[in-house]
Every structure is written in structure tokens, then in C-alpha cells.
Structure 1
Amino acid sequence: MATDHATPSTFTRGSGLPASLTPAWIEQLATRVAAAPDAARVTTNAPYTGIPLADLPVSTPADVEEAFGRARVAQKAWAATPLSERKKILLRFHDLVLAHKDEALDLMQAENGKTRRDASLEVIDIAITSRYYARNAAKYLSPKRRRGAMPLLTHTTERHHPKGVVTVISPWNYPLSMAASDAIAALMAGNAVVQKPDTQTALTALWSLGLMREAGLPADVWQMVVGRGSSIGGALMDNADYMMFTGSTASGRQIASDAGRRLIGASLELGGKNAMIALDDADIDKAAEGAVNACFPSAGQLCVSIERLYVAESIRDKFVAAFVARTKKLKIGAAYDYSIDVGSLTTPSQLCTVTTHVDDAVAKGATALAGGKARPDLGPLFYEPTILTDVTPDMTLYDHETFGPVVSVYSYRDVDEAIELANSSPYGLNASVWSGNGARGRAVAARVHAGTVNVNEAFAAAWGSIDAPMGGMGDSGLGRRHGADGILKYTEAQTVAHQRIQGFYPPTRVSPETWAAILTGAMKVLKAAGVR
């Protein structure tokens, strides 16, 4: 059995939906779904309480086909819109998101069950992303001179054209960040977007769509459909010029296979079993606080959150004591304000996964130093922040992603062992290294097999460094968000080379043998002159 649970006084009982989410407002959001007027409907429930939240129309494959048809017409005009005009729209969207942030926070909490603090970071993320691509897209997309084959004789230009219509499939765990950020870059590159947000959190995505249209985006350039992947996934793939997917590794493999069949590009952010390493010179209090912030935001339903924690033997006992003490002080519950530290899981299936993983580990000998059980007294999907030790390879959560507020703590003898353990997973999305010496921390980070590694931070430092790429290695996916990669992936690169005066074949009165000798000599001269 799990031991040392937090006392009931640590927790706060939740309430219903905020007054801002009126039925009329929710219905208005639902009208933005690309679906027939007589479409079938699906009901979503609020994680905090389980009460019905939204009644959404369900798109059919025919609806998806029609959305793509409208998008292709709109995309031609959108691609011809000057970058300066696209920039203005994104900057207006930036301002609208910040001006209406309380609406977004209420929606995210109602649909996802996360805390207001965690939801607020999504608002900031979208503001940063909008500003970044609005003000940097020209640098990435404008035609660039490149070195020609023959100095002075070859005029070479690199150009970038939009892919066309991009499919974006976004998940439920970060309903604003994942819905809007991928669309922002694709739109700024001149593409149209047909998006399928997860049904559970579709309202937040539809809210962002409405603000983008208010900012000036033509209606058919960004459209949203709602439905199960098993129903409309084929139409989304078959009509796409590029696929952006965030979700499970199993689904990502299938999408990669389908994209390969169609010879279109795909960017996939998939699962993770992220590791944190606390080195022997780490500040124990800071590292323990960092571990709390690494493991439990959004109830652990975060692709870059930490599920494996490796601590140097020399500091293990002190670190674990500090980590457990901080975890037990966390306030779990439902409130539409900033009083709560850990919110609810989002779906019954996620609660089932978390419960099954923890119960399996405890039954096989793991020890729960904190948490270890669901809290139905607070709401249908609450689960306590959980710290496990004595986890062994025969336990499911040892190497399978839990995607909940659960972390396993291990110790190691030396740095080489720590890195070997961190790299033992087939996943490679995010990692965290804690050290009192920044240079040492960065050196260890460089040896970790993960697309992003944070030193003395959990994940926000790398994620928030939007000028740098973010994505996974191994089973954690393909492609990158952010930076140049995040927008150029939505383009087709084209080289235009204009050869002037003399080409590569010999002039009329020069023999091929003589011409070959002339070219060979020219190569030697260019090399000696340091020409690249």
C-alpha cells in the first residue's frame, strides 16, 4: 500500500463551471466547426466535475474534403498576401490573445482540468510564438543569394514556397499551445491549415480560431474539423500537403507510414519518458523544487515533464526528503483562480492508465513516498502527485510513459552511469540536469540523448527559447518546432540558378580536353584562394 499521503487539509474541494462559460457562448464557439448543419453531435465533460460541458458537431470525411477544397482556393490568395500583411495579422492576434486571456484560462481549465497557473503559461507561449514568427518570418522566408557554381558567372537564389494546405492534429493536454502554435508558423509561411483538435479540448482551439479571424485572417485559410481519427483521419491525410501531428508514438508511426506512402512531409512530436539528473554538486533545495516543477505541472500530462529522476548517491537521502516534503505540501483541487498547485487529469482513460501503472508498481514492490492514489472525493479524475522508489524493470511504468503526476526516483554512482541510465529509454524528447556548476551541467546535458535538455530548469528554459528548435529524438518523433526549422518545414525550398556568359560545357572553338584542363586548373586556383 502507498504510505505517507498528504493530509486532507492539504487539499481543496472543487466547484462547477465558471460563470463566463455560458451555453450561448459555448454554442457560438461550436459553430466554427467545419461540419454539415445536420451533423451528428458529441458531448464533452468537464474534468473537474464530470458534468457536460460542450455539445459539438461531428465532421464527416465529406466535411473534411469540403474544408480542403475551400482551403485550397483561399490559400492561393493568402500565399500572395505580402509578408508585411501577414505580420500585422499575427501581431493583432498576439494582442487579442492577451486582451482576452481570462476567456482562454476559463476554457482550458474547464476542458482540460489543469490549474490556472499552468493555463496561463499557454497564453504566454502563444503570445511569444505569434510575436516571434511575425517579426522573424521575413528573415527565414525572403529570397536569399547563395554562392553560385562559378564565381561571378552563376547567380543563385534560394526561395521558399508554402507547401499548400497543412493538416494539423493537436492533442488535449495543451489545448491552446498545441492548437495555435503549429498553425501560426504554417500560416505565416503562406499555407492554409485544416486542423483536427482533440474533441475534449476543441473549444479552446475554436476560441483561438475566432481570434485569428478577428485579427484579419480570411475565414477559409484556417479551418477546424472535429471527429475521431478512425473516422476522418484518412481524409485529413489523403488531402494534406504536409502533416503536423502531436500525440502518441503508436499513432505517429502510422502517420509517418501514411505520409511516406503519399511522399509528403510530416513533423511528429510523440511520447516521452523524460529523465532528470541531479549531480552530486547540485543545490539540494533548488533541485528538489525544480523536480516538483518538472514532474507535476498539468498533473503530469505534459510531453516534456519528468518521469524518471536519477540522483547521485551522495545526496540521495537529503534530496528525496526535500522532494517528498515539497510534494506533500502541494494543494490539489479545482478552482478558477491561482490557489491550486495541481489540477485534475483530463480523461477517464488517463486516470485508468495512471492508476494501473502505480498499482502495478506497488504490487511488485515499489514504495510510494508520496501520493499513490486517486482522490474521487475531490472530483472524478483527481490523482495525488506521486513519488515512487524501488521501481524495477518488471514494472510497467519503468519504461512506459505514464503521462500523469508520477515520478520514479533512482540513484547512481557516477556521471557515466547517470548518463547511461538517462539514455536507456528509446524515447528522447526532453531532459533536465541539475548542477552547482553551469559548465559541468552543460557538458553533461550535451551527452544526454534528447532533443531538448535544460540545465537547472525543468523544461521551460528550452521550450521558451523559441529561437532554438524543439523536438524529439528516437521514439519521441521527427521534425522540430520553433526557430527556423519551425517555419521552414512548412515550405518547399527552391533553388533558382542563372548561368551568365559561359556555362559548364566548352565554347564552340575549345576542345572538350582543353576545357576540362581549364576547369581543373580553375578548381586548383579557387582552392588556393580560399574560396568556399
Structure 2
Amino acid sequence: MPTDHAPILGLPPSLNAALTGRLTARVAAAADAVQVTTNAPYTGAPLAALPVSTPADVDAAFARARNAQAAWAATSMRERKKILLRFHDLVLERQNEVLDLMQAESGKTRRDAFLEVTDIAITTRYYARSAPGLLAPQRRRGAIPLLTRTTELRHPKGVVAVVSPWNYPLSMAAGDAIPALMAGNAVVQKPDTQTAITALWALDLMHEAGLPTGVWQMVLGRGSSIGGALMGNADYMMFTGSTASGRRIARDAGERLIGSSLELGGKNAMLVLDDADIERAADGAIAACFPSAGQLCVSIERMYVAEAIHDDFVAEFAARTKELRIGAAYDYSCEVGSLTNPAQLDTVTAHVEDAVAKGASVLAGGKARPDLGPLFYEPTILADVTPGMTLYDNETFGPVVSIFPFRDVDDAIARANATPYGLNASVWSRNGAWGRAVAARLRAGTVNVNEAFAAAWGSIDAPMGGMGDSGLGRRHGADGILKYTEPQTVAHQRVQGFDPPTGVSHRTWAAILTAALKVLKGVGVR
């Protein structure tokens, strides 16, 4: 496998003391807060010292947010749109700064980091320009035609708690806050501490764009320490993370009778049908399995390939995988970066070693690369994976994929669906209609035909989320902003109500209404 670049021993110029000092000052924590130091995945060197918030700090942040939220909700949609579009421009103008930060904190390649910049630009533009229409009062059909004027209004929930993960530090932090803010909510967010500088950078830029103080705040700390304070204060909970944590959050939200949206784990499948373009599908498999070193919720970990093309496809995919440039560089030269933390390296190593010990074959990769840095692991393809192996049905969340041949499409669909998860899937076929028909039978919230995940994820006007153990609720599209609102129905009854007019008996009135209902049905009124 070519390298591949030696680790960058220094931190990028963007990550200087002046910047980190300004950003860490935005953490809602006491001046004398305990600090925690994060480490750079590329090298293991100390990266940033961050203040840790206490439950009292979280309570205070929510109090400030509630004070700020009323004025923010009263701010015109036009002004909110202006702020978000200015944020959009700043993200694009200052992208090199945040690309450095994302790489330094997560260990991903610059190519993968840039996708987060584009994602946030698309998300910001979409909600800035779509929210006025989505949230405007909507006329609804009244109970009695012409006599009942019914309007649906949308009010902000209040203060939304957002808990965002480390693997996509800009997309998951800003991407979920943007629609909540555009809907008139305040946000108190807990980004993962490992990638908090990136999240704080987004907050800093939003303030530069004109967001009022207190409307979006960030707290840092372990969920075991401040999670209860977040849940206890929130009017709505947005969480991205593990299925186990998501279950606890759903339970606690249910106890409080507040809403929650949860994007959780996945064991995503890719189907390569017998008419697929082998070279194109092999390129697609690279894009499906190894971005961000496989540390993304929608990446592919299981691949089902038609027997007729299985050997040719596997040979092509394995050859291309072995040619990937893995390493550390603050430029666009590397194709695969580092894992982010030691726990992920331990999981990936344990999953691969367990599979090999139980009979799996390594077609590419299969080992850590400490020569490149402490957390690098080669992009890995496994064959002969069986149910007794840990990675057969458990999420690895790393650069590892298992390949299985199939003879019958119905069997492949059944095997792809044989998981409690249901987040993302991919289908490859030269016949678009057939590919879409197969896609519709897969139990996943998003399915891509002749693409890995970017087509569905980037279709920002359509909902994105999981089925089963992959979560509840949706981000993106109308669902992605309406979930942050409370619908209210205002019905104004005019002239005649539901009681009989003066002088008309209830029996006669019932007969009149019965006749009217029959007429309405007959003329096609809904």
C-alpha cells in the first residue's frame, strides 16, 4: 500500500493560541473550571486545553438561552435569514481555517473535511431560504366549508439541546443547530470534547454573522456528568451517537413528554447487482467504505455482490483499495486519514483480529500503521465472514468492509435487511429503474442508487434518518425544521356553529347535516 505520508509533527497554523483562547472563552463554564486536554490523532501530541462545564453551568446556560430566545423568536424571518446567509459566506471564505481545525481534531483527510464545508453551506442556504415558506401560517380546510376559517401556526419549541459527535465535527454541530435557530429556538449544545474547537469555531462565526448573544451556547463535559442537566432543561433533544445512548435519551425524553430526534448506529449494506458497471461500482465502494477512515454513520460495512461478477468486482475493488494513499497532511494529497481516538482503533483491531481468528480472509489491509501515526489503520476488505464473528452484525465504525456473494436478488435483499439497523444503503446497477425498485425494498432511511451516501445526504430537501435501531426522527427537508416547532391550530367559526339555529329542532338539524355530508362526499370534497 503506497503512503503514504509521514505524520505532520506540528499543528496547523490556524490552530494558534489566539484562536483557541477566543474559542474556548465561548464555552459555558466557570472561570476556574477544571480543564481537559485533547490530543491530535495524527501524532498523539496535546492539542487543546478545554474547560469542563458542570451541571450548574448547564443550568445557567439554559437560563440565559431562555432570556435570549423570546427576543430571537420575535426577530423577523427576514433578519434571521440575513444572519444565516452571512454565516454561509463566512464559512466559505474562512474554510481553510476550519479545514485545519477539523483535520487536527479528527485526523480525517482534507478531502473529507471539505465535504463538511460544502454540507454546511448547502444546509444553511436551504433553511435560510426555505424556512419562511415552511414556517408561514398555513390555511387548512375548515370543519364547515366557508364557515370555518382554520389556520396552522408554527411556534418554536423554546430551547433545544443538541448533542453532537466527534466524527463530523462541523456537519453535526452546525448542521443540527441551523434549522433550530432558523425556527426561532435558542440552542444549548454539547459537542464532543475531542472536536469541540471546530464546533466553537462555527459558533464564533455565527456570532460574527450577527446572531445575538445567548441564542446559541455550548457546554462541554461527559454525558454522565452533564447529560441529566441537558435533558432536565431541554424543550427538545437532538442527539447523534450510539444506539445504547439513544435508547436512554428516548426513555428520558418520554418521561418528560418532550420530543427527541435520534440518529444512531448503522450496519449499512451495499448491493452490487449482476449488471453493474464493475469499475464504477469499485470506485463507488471506495467512496462508500473509507471516507473519514470509515467513521461515519452512513458508511458501508457489508457488501453483497452478484456471483456473476463477484470475482471481477472483488479483484478490482481490492486492487484500488491497496493503492489508496493513507497518511497525514494538511493538504489534499491523502485519500485515507487517521482514526480519531484510541477506543476506535481498539474496536477496529479487535473486530478484524476476531474475524481472522475465526476464519475470515483478508483481501486488503488488515493491520494498524503505527509507522504513520498512533491511530492509523489500513483500509480493510474481508471475505468469508460468518455469523459467529463480532463484526458480522455489530457496527465497527472504521475502515473495514465484509464482502459476500449472492446468487438471487431476493436473497440479497433479505440478507441486507437482516439487521436491527436501518440507516443507509447503496445499490449498483446499469438499469436505473431496476436499481430503484431494489432500493425501495431495502429497510433503510436513505438508499442511494449508483452512489454511496452523498446523493441522499446531499439531497437536502428530502428527509434523512434511520429506521429501527438507527434512530427516530429526521434531519433535512421540511421534517428537519418542523420538528423544532410546536404546531398550533386556530379555528375561527363564523355565522353558524354546530348547534341548530334558533327555531330548528335537533332532529331536523341532524337531517340537514346528514344531507349536507352526503352532498359534500358526492361532489368530491375531502
Q: What interval of TM-score do these two structures reach, taking the shorter chain for normalisation? A: over 0.9
Aligned counterparts of 1:177 and 1:10: Cα–Cα separation in 2: 28
One of 333, 339, 343 as aligned partner of 1:345: 339
Number of the residue aligned with 1:469:
463
Q: Deviation digits for residues 487-529 of structure 1, max 9, x if unmatched?
A: 0000000100000001111122111111111111000000111
2:183 aligned to 179, 185, 189, which one? 189
Question: Which residue matches 1:12?
Answer: 5
2:411 matches 1:417: yes
Q: Where does the alignment leave 5 or more consecutive residues of structure 2 unmatched?
A: none
- 2:66 corresponds to which residue? 72
Give CA-to-partner distance per residue, 1:356-402, whole Å, 9 cap, x none. Answer: 00000000000010000001111000000000000000000000000
Structure 1 segments unaligned to the other structure (5+ residues): 1-5
* 2:53 alignment partner, one of 42, 50, 59: 59
Aligned partner letter, 1:398: Y
1:326 aligns with 2:320: yes
Match of 1:507 among 501, 506, 509: 501
Choose 85-94 or 504-513, whichever is displaced more: 504-513
Residue number among 201, 210, 222 corresponding to 2:204 in the alignment = 210
Say whether the 8 Å CA contact 1:301–1:345 is kept in structure 2. yes
Using the size of structure 2 for normalisation, the TM-score is 0.99
Preserved contact between residue 14 and residue 101 of structure 2 (Cα < 8 Å) = no
For 1:3, the equivalent position in structure 2 comes to none
Matches within 5 A, 1:452-491: 452-491=446-485
Deviation at 1:26, TM superposition (A): 1.2
Matching residue of 1:244: 238
Distance 2:20 2:424 in 1: 35
1:305 pairs with one of 299, 303, 306: 299
Q: Following TM superposition, by how much is the alpha carbon of 1:481 offset from its aligned partner in structure 2, in angstroms?
A: 0.5
Runs in 1 of length 4+ with deviation above 6 angstroms? none
Aligned to 2:520: 526
- Whether 2:28 is the aligned partner of 1:31: answer no
CA distance in 1, matches of 2:72, 2:61: 16
Report deviation, 1:18.
1.2
Conservation of the 8 A alpha-carbon contact between 2:155 and 2:487:
yes
Equivalent residue number for residue 161 of structure 1 = 155
**1:394 matches 2:393:** no
Equivalents in 2 of 1:70, 1:180: separation in Å?
20
Contact conserved, 1:118 with 1:298, CA < 8 A, in 2? yes
Query: Take 1:424 and 1:344, find their aligned partners in 2: how far apart are those partners?
Result: 31
Counterpart residue number, 1:255: 249
CA contact 1:480–1:486 (8 Å) conserved in 2: yes
**Counterpart amino acid of residue 243 in structure 1:** M
Q: Distance in 1 between matches of 2:434 and 2:63?
A: 54
**Counterpart in 1 of 2:428?**
434
Describe the superposition over 1:90-117 as per-residue Cα deviations: whole angstroms up to 9, x where unpaired.
0000000000000110000000000000
Distance 1:510 1:357 in 2: 78
Write the distance in 1 (CA, Å) between the matches of 2:158 and 2:247.
23
Question: Is 2:54–2:221's contact at 8 Å kept on the other side of the alignment?
Answer: yes
Letter in 2 for 1:303: C
* Counterpart check, 1:115 vs 2:109: yes
* Contact in 1 for aligned 2:139/2:150 (Cα 8 Å): yes
Aligned partner of 1:404 in structure 2 is 398
Deviation at 1:414, TM superposition (A): 1.0
Map of 1:94 onto structure 2: 88
What is the aligned-residue identity percentage? 78
1:355-366 superposed matches below 5 A: 355-366=349-360
Q: Does 2:269 align with 1:287?
A: no
Partner of 1:134: 128
CA distance in 2, matches of 1:510, 1:195: 60
- Match 1:49 to one of 43, 47, 65: 43
Separation in structure 2 between the aligned mates of residue 373 and residue 433 of structure 1, nearest angstrom: 29
Alignment deviations for residues 240-275 of structure 1 (CA, whole Å, 9 cap, x no partner) = 000000000000000000000000000000000000
Asked if structure 2 preserves the Cα contact closer than 8 Å seen for 1:27 and 1:55, the reply is: no
| Alignment deviations for residues 445-470 of structure 1 (CA, whole Å, 9 cap, x no partner) | 00000000000000000000000000
**Is the Cα–Cα contact under 8 Å of residues 68 and 186 in structure 2 kept in the other structure?**
yes
Question: Partners of 1:111 and 1:499 in 2: how far apart?
Answer: 58
1:343 alignment partner, SS class? coil
Quote how far apart the aligned CAs of 1:347 are: 0.4
Native 8 Å contact 2:266 2:423 kept in 1:
yes
Say if 2:166 is the partner of 1:172: yes
Cα distance in structure 2, aligned partners of 1:227 and 1:531:
56
User: Secondary structure of 2:385's partner?
Assistant: coil
Shift in Å at residue 19 of structure 1?
A: 2.1
Structure-2 separation of matches of 1:445 and 1:233: 37
CA shift at 1:86, angstroms? Answer: 0.2
CA contact (8 A) 1:346 1:381 kept: yes
Shift of 1:25: 1.6
Aligned mates of 2:425, 2:213 — CA distance in 1: 40
Query: In the alignment, which residue of structure 2 is the partner of 1:227?
Result: 221
| Number of residue-to-residue matches in the alignment | 525
**Secondary structure of the structure 2 residue equivalent to 1:220:** coil
Q: Does 1:444 align with 2:429?
A: no
Contact 2:152 2:490 in 1 (8 A): yes
Q: Tell me if the contact between 2:12 and 2:100 (Cα under 8 Å) persists in the aligned partners.
A: yes
Decide whether the 8 Å contact of 1:310 with 1:409 is kept in 2.
yes
2:36, 2:199 → 1: CA distance?
A: 16
- Which residue identity lines up with residue 4 of structure 2 in the other structure? F
